[in-house]
Amino acid sequence: MKKLVLVMTIISFVFIACGEKTEEVADQSKVGVALYKFDDTFISTVRAAIEKQNDDNGKMAALNFADGQGQQATQNDSIDTFIAQGYNALSVNMVDRTSAPVIIEKAKAAGIPIVFFNREPVEADMKSWDKIYYVGAKAEESGRIQGEAAAKYFKENPTADRNGDGIMQYVMLTGEPGHQDALLRTEYSTNAVIAAGIKIEELAQDTGMWQRVNGQEKMDAWLAVHGDKIEVVFANNDDMALGAIEALRAQGYFGEGGKYIPVIGVDATAPAIDSIANGLLYATVLNDSKGQGKAIYDITMALAKNEDPKTLPYTFDNGQYVWIDYVPVTAENYEDFK
């Protein structure tokens, strides 16, 4: 008898649970969101923005997030599962953006549209189907803004040129090799310094793979070799910039002695904004995760519902690309981005 009661109770719980779920999921579209890895500061903010947009829209989608764990094979498996389960649309942040053709082919065969974001498939792959879109930000622009910030600091502070040779000696912490943001931010940041009429000399460059701990380790090593010869630190993102700041603090920078060096990142993550507020990080560039998350969600949902995304209030560049602007963030305006 006891057993029967227990079984009945479990069954009714299951019914209640299902009942609630059915109510909530009525008309929901199934959307798979594949992230290159969950453990990335910036990507976590994009994920939060996608979730928020879904909440604000009465949970129109049953969102299923998949962690690629930095492995393309793992991500491919998740996408295979989404396809096999007849998902209505996918949002994909590739692990390796050159692997897009494999995913596009399978999705196309199953008729499941994709919105790629943050890691841009090459143009030929984007052109291979008209049901694929890309939401991102123009990496060139973020690099240019970084370079302009460095040039401004150099011009406004005569002591910034420590050895007085008229040349900006800098180090560069780059993101993951092959990532368009790493390549273009590296190139355009220094180009903008040159365009501002300042000569440059690179003392060191290495990848920190977007991670704070690597930024700290590389900067430690560079300080050991180049010490006070370094005049500017560029980092392709804020996490690495904040790591570099830790290394610099350990060498007496940003302390009572007034030793200072401009460190410039990209993203405007919450810790980066705090760092600017505390007089550590010199500048960053807003990589608008809210704007990107909203666009990713809106376009994916239109596709999931078989509607034309072009009716949404976004500008579609070449019919497939939606670009969200970068914004410079410094001590002058950081409060607007808190």
Closest C-alpha to 168, from 244, 240, 233: 233
Q: What is the DSSP letter of 28?
A: P
Closest CB to ligand BGC among 40 and 298?
Answer: 40
75 near ligand BGC, rule: CB under 6 A: no
Q: How far apart are CA 276 and CA 48, in angstroms?
A: 23
In the complex, what is the shortest distance from the CB of residue 247 to ligand BGC, in angstroms, rounded to a whole number?
Answer: 19
**Block residue for tokens 């609630």:** 20
Closest CB to ligand BGC among 30 and 212?
Answer: 212
In degrees and rounded to multiples of 5, residue 164 shows phi and psi of: 60, 25
In the complex, what is the shortest distance from the CB of residue 307 to ligand BGC, in angstroms, rounded to a whole number?
Answer: 28
Q: How far apart are CA 139 and CA 136, in angstroms?
A: 9
In the complex, what is the shortest distance from the CB of residue 37 to ligand BGC, in angstroms, rounded to a whole number?
Answer: 9
In degrees and rounded to multiples of 5, residue 12 shows phi and psi of: -65, -35
In the complex, what is the shortest distance from the CB of residue 198 to ligand BGC, in angstroms, rounded to a whole number?
Answer: 25
Closest CB to ligand BGC among 44 and 251?
Answer: 44
Q: The dihedral of CA 302, 307, 308, 312: what is its sign?
A: negative
Contact stretch for ligand BGC (CB under 6 A) within 40-48, 59-67, 82-90, 96-104 = 40-48
In degrees and rounded to multiples of 5, residue 4 shows phi and psi of: -60, -45
233 near ligand BGC, rule: CB under 6 A: no
Other C-beta atoms lying within 10 Å of the C-beta of residue 39: 12
In degrees and rounded to multiples of 5, residue 114 shows phi and psi of: -130, 135
Closest CB to ligand BGC among 304 and 329?
Answer: 329
| Region 109-148 residues binding ligand BGC, contact defined as CB under 6 A | 118-119
Q: Which of 33, 34, 35, 43 binds ligand BGC (CB under 6 A)?
A: 43
Q: What is the DSSP letter of 97?
A: G
Q: How far apart are CA 188 and CA 148, in angstroms?
A: 10
> Which residues are 64's β-sheet partners?
32
Helix axes 41-56, 238-250, angle to 10 degrees: 140
Q: Which of 125, 148, 267, 298 binds ligand BGC (CB under 6 A)?
A: 267
Identity at 152, one-letter amino acid code: K
Contact stretch for ligand BGC (CB under 6 A) within 39-47, 187-195, 221-229, 289-297 = 39-47
In the complex, what is the shortest distance from the CB of residue 181 to ligand BGC, in angstroms, rounded to a whole number?
Answer: 4
At 283, list the tokens.
């500048």
In the complex, what is the shortest distance from the CB of residue 206 to ligand BGC, in angstroms, rounded to a whole number?
Answer: 16
In the complex, what is the shortest distance from the CB of residue 40 to ligand BGC, in angstroms, rounded to a whole number?
Answer: 5
In degrees and rounded to multiples of 5, residue 178 shows phi and psi of: 90, -20
In the complex, what is the shortest distance from the CB of residue 63 to ligand BGC, in angstroms, rounded to a whole number?
Answer: 19
Closest CB to ligand BGC among 30 and 47?
Answer: 47
| Region 9-38 residues binding ligand BGC, contact defined as CB under 6 A | 36
Closest CB to ligand BGC among 276 and 302?
Answer: 276
| Region 160-199 residues binding ligand BGC, contact defined as CB under 6 A | 179, 181
| Region 276-295 residues binding ligand BGC, contact defined as CB under 6 A | 287
Identity at 241, one-letter amino acid code: A
Closest C-alpha to 88, from 33, 14, 165: 33
Q: Which of 40, 120, 125, 148 binds ligand BGC (CB under 6 A)?
A: 40
Which DSSP helix (H) or strand (E) runs through 327? strand 327-330
At 231, list the tokens.
């005049």
234 near ligand BGC, rule: CB under 6 A: no
235 near ligand BGC, rule: CB under 6 A: no
Closest CB to ligand BGC among 117 and 253?
Answer: 117
Residues contributing to the site for ligand BGC (CB under 6 A): 36, 40, 42-43, 118-119, 179, 181, 210, 237, 266-267, 287
